[in-house]
Structure 1
Amino acid sequence: MIRLWNRSLTTRFVAIMLLALALSQGISFLLFADERGQALYRAMKAEFLSRSATVAQVLESTPPASRNDILRASDTGYSRFWVSRDFPSDASRWREEAKLRLADPLPSVASLANPVAEERRAVTPVVATTAGVTSVETTNLRPWTDLPAHAWPLSRPAKFLYLDDSSGMGLAVQLKDGSWLSTAFAKKMVNPLLTSQSIISLAVTAVILSICAAFIARNMTRPMRRLAVAAEALGRGETLQPLPERGPTEIRQTAEAFNLMQARLQRFVADRTRMLAAIGHDLRTPITSLRLRAEFVSDDETREKMLSTLDELKSMTEATLAFSREQAIAEETRNVNLSALVESLCDDLVELGYHVSFLDSPKIGYRCRADALKRAVRNLVENAVRYGERARVSVASRPTSIEIVVEDDGPGIPIETMDSVFAPFFRLENSRNRETGGIGLGLSIARNIVRHHGGDVILSNTGSGLRAVISLPVVELRTEGKTAVRRVPLAGLGLRLDKRSPAV
């Protein structure tokens, strides 16, 4: 749950909405619980008075011989009716009698059909049993109180009292023949905070609220996902269309800032490339002039050293111009079979006489600038053959990266110079053969290309040579249901590449 909470903004939004719902419903239950209990009590009292009035009217409209049958038929599990000759003025004794009658179980259907058994039951003393009947406390309670005619259904007054401190009630009303109808009622009032109806209502509300919250959260995070995809693609050096500048003010301002940043970066890179090309181009003229003047030096040894230095300077200038020209070309990013790309490069180098071997590797699809990445691998392979006699190349897929590994059998390089060898025009003097070496741009160009793809070049000594690893990131982002930037695993499935362009 914590992992899901940290991963998804939608989950957080839904959880917060559900927590707010639970808190609001809990506060509502606490505030209205007493009001609900009072409403239930008023309804129960109204039912008691109405039933008592109905029984009184039925007794007055039927012959006296049927009175006992009517009383027995009117009894319920929580109310009893009986008739006495005189008014029960002693409230305490009446409460005791009511308690006994309420505790006495109702007669069964068979006993009602057997008059003799029912008559025997009528003369049998009532034994107080409390099974299924609410206990009635009769101490410290008020005596009878007058119930005016307007307070209940009949047009005559009655007497009313409470059997206990909660929900027990009693009523005595005089009939037309002078006798008194007594009614005792004791029903435990249940007022649960959560009923089945409230639970169902709360569950339905929670589901609807969760759906609405998820929909709102996804709409809110869609521009953020689009921005994340665009930022990742920009970091990999891809050329992007400007993000749509629409939506709420905050989203629109973020898109505007990203588009402005992208334009500034592209302008900065273009300016730097043009400046580098201009410097390399302008150096050609003085180098040529110096070479012509060096030809007139009379000392042969001095002349050869000067010409050698000028040739080296010219090579560095030509390499700089070539690098700037490649930087100025905006290569399109596309999906390729990375293993096939590296294998074809190794085959080309073998035909040129290089000692290069490509180890069997699974087919791996990757989205990149193929020509630039091919040049980076070529620089590393040529570097391995030049200084380590031979190169072994392989491609491997890791959970979070794709690795192109180049190993040689050379002497390796000192650990303290692992970072320095990537500097432009840097060459090792002791552990590398300078006469067979280049001008010191190979590793710098290779790392620059790989870093434009979001990866890096890592060097390490193996004890029997040097290992150079091109580590490319595996990124899988989705936006609006479309795969934006992803690596498609192809091992064992044949080549299947996603042809869709970045959904930015």
Structure 2
Amino acid sequence: MGIKRLRYWLSSLTGQVIMVALFALVLIQLVGIQIYRMEREATLGLVNSRFTLQRLVSVTRLLNQSPPALHDEILRASRSETLHLRLETSQPLPDERSARFEHIVRSKLDYPEPLAIHISAEHNPRRVHRPPWMHPHHRPPHHRHPPRPDIRLQGGIELADGRWLNFTSLSDREVPGWSAKAVLSFILLAALLTGLMIWLLQRTTRPLKELAQQAERLGRGDKAEPIAETGPREIRDTLTAFNRMQNRLDRFVSDRTRMLAAISHDLRTPITTLQLRCEFLPDGEDKQKIQQGLKRMEQMLNATLQFAREDGLSEPIRNLDLPSLLQSLCDDLQDNGHDVTLCEPAAVIYRGRPSALRRALQNLLDNGVKYGGKVQVRLATTPEQVQIQIRDFGPGIPEAQQEEVFKPFTRLDSARNLEDGSIGLGLAIARTLIHQHGGTLLLGNHPQGGLLVRITLPH
């Protein structure tokens, strides 16, 4: 159930925007940290280089002013994890000398020109596993596993006694890890961003949810009040267009109903006049045929008016017990001597128009017992929809004509011998009423014979 909810949330606009925002936040944080590390290394490298040069100047002055017996102690006290100092009789010439650093040291020492200063700076230092310059008996305090440094500066400064103070400067470039404060700040920032976006998106999508609900109600023929036009400008424009469309549809249906009612009223007068005139005709076959034709016209006129009014639209929606409704319809037909069976119906409470559904199902069951004899009804339900199947055991309907029977006044006498007085509106009315509930009504021939009516109603 949790996975389904997560998938549903991720498929929503809110979920997708939040996921994109969090991904962008993580990406920005990672890029920012990488930029910070690069700038930090460059800054620390410059600071360490200047600090190393300052220490070299101080050690050089101290060595030049101290007796040779103290030089080893001075070097031992001046060494550190990032600076190796040693006194040698020669100085290995560096590959590339740094005139800038040499000038800085010479200006601070005020060295006479004969004394040499050789310094090189490596901008792409290689990694070393352990500082090779460390004294064999030296163990840095508080560092069980010393960091892996990079060579920055190396070279030598000639002392007054002719010896060389050779040095190698190292710099720790270990990348700092994620601290607890950094993780906490990132979580707080992500939570704040998520909360703000949820609030904004819910405020933005709430009118869209109302629009979806209103469209569903409109598709089921349920009249409702116009949607409040709130939210961003684009959503307000959409809601305005939907309200305008709903008003136009209402006017169209009302105008059509009034027009058909007026036509029906106007046609009743000439039909009644013709019936009266027909009474004065001499008895015979012609008079009988004319009367049958007029009666037929009156039946069609009444059925047309009933079909156009769509009585189900004015009926309120409420909860109804579908199994009980089907069982009552089957019991009524059984009382009249028809073989109608409701097979193991599922328990379903459905929100709909009871009279409209009863009328639609009654028309389908009546057609089944008229033209198929025996009828079986099945009721099943899923989380998304209700399914009703009505099967008769008659000759069925050719596949090419299964859609034609839904047209008003269509009679397939070759497939089903309709009784006198039937005008071919039963299936059309049934499909209209099912469509008003947002459902579908399809016909098909059963593999074992007979017609199978399949009704699908959304929950």
The 1:248/1:147 distance shift into structure 2, 3 A limit, reads: closer
Instruction: Give 1:442 deviation, angstroms.
Output: 0.7
| Residue equivalent to 1:162 | 119
1:94 aligns with 2:91: yes
Q: Which amino acid aligns with 1:376?
A: A
The 1:155/1:222 distance shift into structure 2, 3 A limit, reads: farther
1:466 aligns with 2:422: no
The 1:22/1:249 distance shift into structure 2, 3 A limit, reads: same
The 1:55/1:369 distance shift into structure 2, 3 A limit, reads: farther
- 3-state SS, counterpart of residue 242 of structure 1: coil
Higher mean alpha-carbon deviation, 36-45 vs 316-325, is at 316-325
| Residue equivalent to 2:261 | 277
Contact map agreement 2:312 2:355 (CA 8 A) in 1 = no
CA deviation map 1:69-92 (0-9, x unaligned): 4532443334233568xxx7xxxx
Instruction: Number of aligned residue pairs: give it.
Output: 419
| Residue equivalent to 2:352 | 368
1:8 aligns with 2:5: no
What pairs up with 1:298-377 in 2 under 5 angstroms? 298-327=282-311, 330-377=314-361
Instruction: Give 1:455 deviation, angstroms.
Output: 2.0
Q: Which amino acid aligns with 2:260?
A: L
CA deviation map 1:366-388 (0-9, x unaligned): 32222211211111001111112
Q: Which amino acid aligns with 1:196?
A: W
Distance 1:304 1:164 in 2: 122
* Larger RCO: 1 or 2 (CA < 8 Å, sep 6+): 1
CA deviation map 1:398-417 (0-9, x unaligned): 56542211111222223332
Q: Which amino acid aligns with 2:95?
A: T
1:402 aligns with 2:386: yes
Distance 1:12 1:21 in 2: 14
1:48 aligns with 2:47: no
CA deviation map 1:309-348 (0-9, x unaligned): 2222222223234344553851122233322322233223
Q: Which amino acid aligns with 2:47?
A: A
| Residue equivalent to 2:147 | none
| Residue equivalent to 1:139 | 95
1:196 aligns with 2:200: no
Q: Which amino acid aligns with 1:374?
A: R
Unmatched segments (≥5 aa) in structure 2: 1-6, 124-151
Distance 1:52 1:210 in 2: 54
Instruction: Give 1:282 deviation, angstroms.
Output: 2.8
- 3-state SS, counterpart of residue 239 of structure 1: coil
1:384 aligns with 2:388: no
- 3-state SS, counterpart of residue 168 of structure 1: strand
Distance 2:324 2:117 in 1: 99
Higher mean alpha-carbon deviation, 61-70 vs 72-81, is at 61-70
CA deviation map 1:205-225 (0-9, x unaligned): 666555544554444333223
CA RMSD of the aligned region, Å?
4.0
Higher mean alpha-carbon deviation, 415-424 vs 258-267, is at 415-424
Contact map agreement 2:322 2:350 (CA 8 A) in 1 = yes
Q: Which amino acid aligns with 1:419?
A: E
Distance 2:50 2:8 in 1: 54
Distance 2:25 2:261 in 1: 65
Instruction: Give 1:423 deviation, angstroms.
Output: 1.5
- 3-state SS, counterpart of residue 170 of structure 2: coil
Contact map agreement 2:372 2:395 (CA 8 A) in 1 = yes
| Residue equivalent to 1:414 | 398
Distance 1:254 1:148 in 2: 74
Distance 2:204 2:76 in 1: 69
| Residue equivalent to 1:186 | 169
Higher mean alpha-carbon deviation, 387-396 vs 214-223, is at 214-223
Structure 2 residue corresponding to 1:76, chosen from 77, 80, 91:
80
Instruction: Give 1:168 deviation, angstroms.
Output: 2.1
CA deviation map 1:33-86 (0-9, x unaligned): 7654431211211332444466578879999876544532443334233568xx
Distance 2:186 2:242 in 1: 43
CA deviation map 1:453-481 (0-9, x unaligned): 22222111225321112222x3xxxxxxx
Instruction: Give 1:447 deviation, angstroms.
Output: 0.7
Contact map agreement 1:412 1:466 (CA 8 A) in 2 = yes
Unmatched segments (≥5 aa) in structure 1: 97-137, 475-486, 488-504
- 3-state SS, counterpart of residue 270 of structure 2: helix
| Residue equivalent to 1:120 | none
Distance 1:160 1:399 in 2: 86
Instruction: Give 1:228 deviation, angstroms.
Output: 1.9
Percent of pairs identical after alignment? Answer: 37
Instruction: Give 1:363 deviation, angstroms.
Output: 1.0
Instruction: Give 1:280 deviation, angstroms.
Output: 2.3
Q: Which amino acid aligns with 2:11?
A: R
| Residue equivalent to 2:127 | none
The 1:150/1:375 distance shift into structure 2, 3 A limit, reads: farther
- 3-state SS, counterpart of residue 332 of structure 1: coil
TM-score w.r.t. length of structure 1: 0.70
Distance 2:156 2:107 in 1: 15
Structure 1 residue corresponding to 2:272, chosen from 288, 303, 325:
288
Distance 1:328 1:443 in 2: 15
Higher mean alpha-carbon deviation, 73-82 vs 254-263, is at 73-82
Distance 1:336 1:184 in 2: 94
The 1:169/1:42 distance shift into structure 2, 3 A limit, reads: same
Higher mean alpha-carbon deviation, 3-12 vs 317-326, is at 3-12
| Residue equivalent to 1:264 | 248
Distance 2:385 2:8 in 1: 24
- 3-state SS, counterpart of residue 458 of structure 1: strand
| Residue equivalent to 1:234 | 218
The 1:257/1:159 distance shift into structure 2, 3 A limit, reads: farther
Contact map agreement 2:311 2:356 (CA 8 A) in 1 = no
